[in-house]
Structure 1
Amino acid sequence: MVVGLIIACEVGFWVLLAAGLAVRYLLKWRRTSVALLLCEPLLELVLFVVTAVDLKNGADPSWEHGLAALYIGYTVAYGHYTITWLDGHAAHRLAGGPRPPKPPRHGLARARHEGRLWLRTLLAAAVACVLLQAAIWYVGDGDTSSLRAFQWTALRTLGVHGVIALTYLIWPKKAPAEAAAPSEESRTLTGR
């Protein structure tokens, strides 16, 4: 039941997002679009309540409950970021707005961008671990090994993303040389 609800929440997220952006940019109903987009957090609240009720009714803690916690953590950390990113693209495509800026591709600016994304992953892992720990305490003496395993999954994900983000700082990608300036080799070949 919980897995079906997670899938329904994910589908609902994208349906509400598409409806909110369509209403905003195609119909020009800004208030209605805000109302639709504000319904997004209700999906996570419903998932949280249903998961808690499922555990309260005696369901054994399983991977479904762990996945629900990870999903809620991810949505808390990356939901607004995703909505803002897609809103910028919809404004550009549907309303003639400016092209949204792309993330930096080189140097320290890219490392800062990756660091900010890692901080979002830190928030996602923290929310998931807190929810999982609350579920472990809630269940009490039952078998909570699957919930503990998902806590470790959240921490491993955080660690892997941290290593990836750190590589952008340690080995920053260099900006390509100006295309207009001829290289030393091409000047030698052409005699200029």
Structure 2
Amino acid sequence: MNLAWLIVACEIGFWLFIVFGLVTRYIWNKKKLGLFLLALTPVIDIVLLVVTGIDLYYGSKATVIHGLAAVYIGISIGFGKRMIEWADEQFSYYVIKQGPKPKKLFGMQKAVHYFKGWLRHLISYLIGIGLLAGMVLFLRDTNQTEPLVQLGRTWTVILGIDLMITISYFLFPKKEKVRKTSIG
């Protein structure tokens, strides 16, 4: 199987485990089984990591796709729990019509929320860059690892842009729109 397709399959698998976990938990009322399915999402990362390592070990030239596997794993670990919580909130309110409506954030609440998201991005980045560095050290060939190094540079720029956007929420807090009501 092509590694790019495996990454796509892992992303689809991640969301399938979440959807089936939520359906099992709320619709079929099997809370333990639903939690088990949700807890299996990290197994997908392990599969991707092992397959990527085997692919490189057996002589594949390192490509951006190998690097994307590292990025995917970093993001999955950094954001995985929050993505599951978000899906749980959305599912319980919009699908089964239980639980509180997910609220929109404004002002400092939104700024703090985005800062926490940036911290998750930083954790994802550190994990992903660590995996990229591990691949570079494992391969020990600067010609072969240039795509991995370039991907790391690109991600560094993206992390910096994300930080600037996050800071902008503190400097220019988003205000809740005031609804005008007509009297009469």
TM-score, shorter chain, exceeding 0.5? yes
Against the structure 1 CA distance between its residues 87 and 174, is the aligned structure 2 distance closer, same or farther, given a 3 Å change threshold? closer
Runs of 4+ in 1 over 3 A off after TM superposition: 93-96, 174-180
Alignment of 1:90-109 (within 5 A): 90-105=91-106, 107-109=107-109
- Aligned partners of 1:26 and 1:94 also within 8 Å: no
Alignment deviations for residues 31-85 of structure 1 (CA, whole Å, 9 cap, x no partner): 1111111111000100000001111101111111111111111111111111111
Please report how far the alpha carbon of residue 140 of structure 1 lies from its aligned counterpart in structure 2 after TM superposition. 1.1
Aligned-residue sequence identity (percent) comes to 32
Equivalent residue number for residue 173 of structure 2: 172
Equivalent residue number for residue 190 of structure 1: none
State the alpha-carbon separation in 1 of the partners of residues 180 and 88 from structure 2: 33
State the alpha-carbon separation in 1 of the partners of residues 55 and 178 from structure 2: 59
Whether 2:82 is the aligned partner of 1:69: answer no
Please report how far the alpha carbon of residue 171 of structure 1 lies from its aligned counterpart in structure 2 after TM superposition. 1.5
Equivalent residue number for residue 21 of structure 1: 22
Q: Is the deviation greater in 59-68 or in 169-178?
A: 169-178
Against the structure 1 CA distance between its residues 50 and 17, is the aligned structure 2 distance closer, same or farther, given a 3 Å change threshold? same
**Which residue identity lines up with residue 64 of structure 1 in the other structure?**
I
Equivalent residue number for residue 156 of structure 2: 155
Against the structure 1 CA distance between its residues 103 and 138, is the aligned structure 2 distance closer, same or farther, given a 3 Å change threshold? farther
Equivalent residue number for residue 133 of structure 2: 133
Unaligned runs of 5+ in 1: 183-192
Please report how far the alpha carbon of residue 97 of structure 1 lies from its aligned counterpart in structure 2 after TM superposition. 2.3
Equivalent residue number for residue 123 of structure 2: 123
Alignment deviations for residues 68-110 of structure 1 (CA, whole Å, 9 cap, x no partner): 11111111111111111111122224444222432412x2222
Equivalent residue number for residue 31 of structure 1: 32
**Which residue identity lines up with residue 110 of structure 1 in the other structure?**
K
Against the structure 1 CA distance between its residues 60 and 178, is the aligned structure 2 distance closer, same or farther, given a 3 Å change threshold? closer
State the alpha-carbon separation in 2 of the partners of residues 103 and 174 from structure 1: 11
Against the structure 1 CA distance between its residues 25 and 135, is the aligned structure 2 distance closer, same or farther, given a 3 Å change threshold? same
Q: Which has the larger radius of gyration?
A: 1
Equivalent residue number for residue 4 of structure 2: 3
Equivalent residue number for residue 185 of structure 1: none
Number of equivalenced pairs: 181
State the alpha-carbon separation in 1 of the partners of residues 46 and 104 from structure 2: 31
Against the structure 1 CA distance between its residues 119 and 103, is the aligned structure 2 distance closer, same or farther, given a 3 Å change threshold? farther
Whether 2:147 is the aligned partner of 1:146: answer yes
Alignment deviations for residues 156-180 of structure 1 (CA, whole Å, 9 cap, x no partner): 1111111111111112223445746
State the alpha-carbon separation in 1 of the partners of residues 81 and 101 from structure 2: 16
State the alpha-carbon separation in 2 of the partners of residues 171 and 3 from structure 1: 39
State the alpha-carbon separation in 2 of the partners of residues 148 and 117 from structure 1: 25
Against the structure 1 CA distance between its residues 177 and 14, is the aligned structure 2 distance closer, same or farther, given a 3 Å change threshold? closer
What's the TM-score, normalizing by structure 2? 0.91
